[in-house]
Amino acid sequence: MDSQHLNPSTLKSRFTARFLRALIKINAQKPISSSSPREIFQRYRRIKVAADKSMAYSVRSRRTWSRATLWKLQSRSRRRLASSGRRSSIKTRTTTTTTTTTTSTNHRAAIVEKTSHEKENKEDHVGLAVQAEELRELVPGGESMDLCNLLDETAHYIKCLTTQVQVMKKIANLYSLE
Amino acid sequence: MAEGLRTAEQQWNSYPFGIEMQRHELNSASEKVGNCFFNPNWDNSMVQSGSFDSSLSSMVSSSSAISNAETVLPGYEHNMVIRKLIGRLGNDYNYSSYTSSQPLIKSNNANTPLNIIPKLNLPFSSDPGFSERAPRFSSFNGELGFNRNEFQANIPDSKRGSLLLSENIPRQNNVNSRKRKSIPSGKAEETPSMAAADSKIVAGAKRSKKDRADEEHHGNGEKHNKVKSKAAMAPTEYVHVRARRGQATDGHSLAERVRREKISERMKLLQDLVPGCNKVTGKALMLDEIINYVQSLQRQVEFLSMKLATLNPRMDINMESIVSMDMFRCCGSLPSTMFSIDSSASAFGFGYEHQQRVPMHNGEYDNAEARFFENSPNLGLRKTRDPIDDLTDANSQVGLFWDDDDLHSIVQMGFGQNQPQSYQGMVGHRSDM
């Protein structure tokens, strides 16, 4: 466990580093002592987004769910920036998002084609269709995957979620100890 | 190549029992067995395929040798010879077909077995049922693994060793019989016919009894993992899937079977990941468990981020050092005690004196954490928590996630004087979130 933490290349350490940096940035924005519940709720949203984002970035684009998460986040931020009119930020982000978007859209297109081809083979899994749909909703990017890949993604997603929860628990512990 | 196969199929289908037509051409003369390979009627350039060439030449030579050597029961011998030859051809065909994702790699390879078979069936004049079976093979969509099984069954052990497919039979049988369970109705009609064909073909073979027993089992449409153990199993593991005895062998069924195996493999992996899944059997229940677990993990992340939003590390400078590895080491060294610390810490947030708790816990801390404790004044801690009374619900609910019974007792102790009813309020509050 210790060696795992000290190893800078594990998922856990990558996520931890990123998340902590994001957390520090968020906390630096406003002092929490004077926060209203609304602000706290905003901060909560930001922290949640930061957690998901750091985890997705730690996984890079190796997994469909991470790609889908990053794509969602970036499209959302792009929309927000577009509405607020900060053009310069949009430009910088668009360049990064286009690459991700194209890869994700290509990937999605490929997946959808493959899924439609395999849809006729799904009749023997009729009993699992309901759960498969639920799982697809839970796992980001799972809408366009057949059951086989979906289970693969779910396994990796569970692993990353557990890491996330562990690290966040420990951080929360440390916070509360102060 | 697909169209090439279809033409072959049409050819095949065009003479359902029309193999009779060619019977006159090829009598039971042994030489004809060899001749049929070079029958100019074949419009498919079979001989272009190198693998087929070698196999055919070997087959021709062996067949002529065999037929010359043996005299009695010409029909039966020819049956054996032909079956062996077909088996060899089917081997090549199968190999080539399976090494690619499609059932047919080359039109050459694809068509030739189908073309060979009607002509090779001719010597089976003593086997009347065989001609009936021949057209059925056309429905294979190019897959001849099933054929291989039947033919293999008829060949005596001595010859079996020379056939490459012998090792595959047990696997094939497993796959076939397993596939039988969920064959859709459309294919179910096909398989009983094949099973019937099986039984007929097998009738002439030495092992007819055992085969028939197997065939009956398969013919019943039941799932039987009957392995044809007679095969000289030199288990060369093939990456590709083989058609099994008594089951449909078209590309769709095979792909389906592969898919199902992959899915069950992944379900097993997931079973290891999700705690408490060992007792659950069946895909549906497993998936339910998985869904619940993923949902709970996602909710945990939400609540932890809410908690982090409410807790402010007043010592941001110390957070910088947290990013370094020191903190990680500390984190790693305190597994379960952290939970109890945290629960008591959250109890602090509810307006409790935590001074008395500090010395209790100090001994368990590493230097880094003791540093935090000294640095944070008691008042500062309170200030950060007081305005968050309405969010205590979330905090206390985070405590619920920790399964430690000690935790619960501590948490309840901390919350006991505050709002016992807050637990119910939490549920409501949580649903709002």
In angstroms, the CA A72 to CA A78 distance is: 10
Q: Is residue B297 part of a domain?
A: yes
Query: Which among B16, B17, B28, B76 is positioned nearest to B203, based on CA atoms?
Result: B76
**pLDDT value at residue B88:** 58
Q: What is the average per-residue pLDDT within A89-117?
A: 52
**pLDDT value at residue B277:** 79
Q: Is A54 in CB contact (< 8 Å) with chain B?
A: no
Q: Is B233 in CB contact (< 8 Å) with chain A?
A: no
What the block records as the tokens of B38 is: 């070079």
Residues of chain A contacting residue B298, judged by C-beta atoms under 8 Å apart: 138, 161
Model confidence at B107: pLDDT above 50: no
Model confidence at B158: pLDDT above 70: no
Residue B118 CA to chain centroid, in angstroms?
Answer: 35
Please report the ipTM that was assigned to this predicted complex: 0.77
Q: Is A7 in CB contact (< 8 Å) with chain B?
A: no
Q: How many domains is chain A partitioned into structurally?
A: 1
User: pTM for this one?
Assistant: 0.42
Q: Do A159 and B273 touch (CB under 8 A)?
A: yes
Residue in chain B nearest A55 by alpha carbon: B301
Q: Is residue B167 part of a domain?
A: no
Q: Is residue B400 part of a domain?
A: no
Sequence-distant (6+) residues with CB within 8 A of B5 are B104, B107, B110, B111, B114, B141, B142
Report the residue of B319, B350, B393, B395 to disrupt the A interface, i.e. the one with the largest count of A CBs within 10 Å. Answer: B319
Q: Is residue B294 part of a domain?
A: yes
Structural domain of B288: 252-313
What the block records as the tokens of B60 is: 């021709």
Model confidence at B307: pLDDT above 60: yes
Output the domain CATH number for residue B275. Answer: 4.10.280
Q: How many domains is chain B partitioned into structurally?
A: 1
Kindly write down the DSSP assignment for every residue of A55-106, as one continuous string.
Answer: HHHHHTTSSHHHHHHHHHHHHHHHHHHHHHT-HHHHHHHHHHHHHHHHHHHH
**pLDDT value at residue B240:** 67
Whether the CB-CB separation of B250 and B195 falls below 8 Å is answered with no
Q: Is residue A114 part of a domain?
A: no
**pLDDT value at residue B299:** 92
**Chain A nearest C-alpha distance from B241 (Å):** 17
Query: Which among B272, B253, B273, B251 is positioned nearest to B261, based on CA atoms?
Result: B253
For residue B65, the 8-state DSSP code is H
Q: Is residue A147 part of a domain?
A: yes
Whether the CB-CB separation of B399 and B304 falls below 8 Å is answered with no
**pLDDT value at residue B87:** 56
**pLDDT value at residue B27:** 46
Q: Is residue A36 part of a domain?
A: yes
CA dihedral A81, A86, A89, A94 (to 10 degrees): 60
Q: Is residue B265 part of a domain?
A: yes
Per-residue model confidence as pLDDT tens digits over B332-357: 444 444 444 444 444 444 433 434 44
Q: Which of B112-116, B213-217, B274-278, B316-320 has the highest mean pLDDT?
A: B274-278
CB count within 10 Å of CB A177 equals 25
Q: Do B338 and A164 touch (CB under 8 A)?
A: no
**pLDDT value at residue A113:** 52
Q: Is residue A127 part of a domain?
A: no
Structural domain of A44: 10-80+137-177
Query: Which among B252, B229, B232, B251 is positioned nearest to B98, based on CA atoms?
Result: B251
Q: What are phi and psi of A92, to 5 degrees?
A: -65, -40
Whether the CB-CB separation of A47 and B308 falls below 8 Å is answered with yes
Whether the CB-CB separation of B197 and B150 falls below 8 Å is answered with yes
Per-residue model confidence as pLDDT tens digits over B73-88: 455 555 565 555 555 5
Q: Is residue B17 part of a domain?
A: no
Per-residue model confidence as pLDDT tens digits over B341-399: 444 444 444 433 434 444 444 444 444 444 444 444 443 444 444 444 444 444 444 43
Q: Is residue B289 part of a domain?
A: yes
The overall average pLDDT reported for chain B is: 52
Per-residue model confidence as pLDDT tens digits over B284-303: 888 888 888 999 999 998 88
In angstroms, the CA B16 to CA B27 distance is: 19
Q: Do A162 and B297 touch (CB under 8 A)?
A: yes
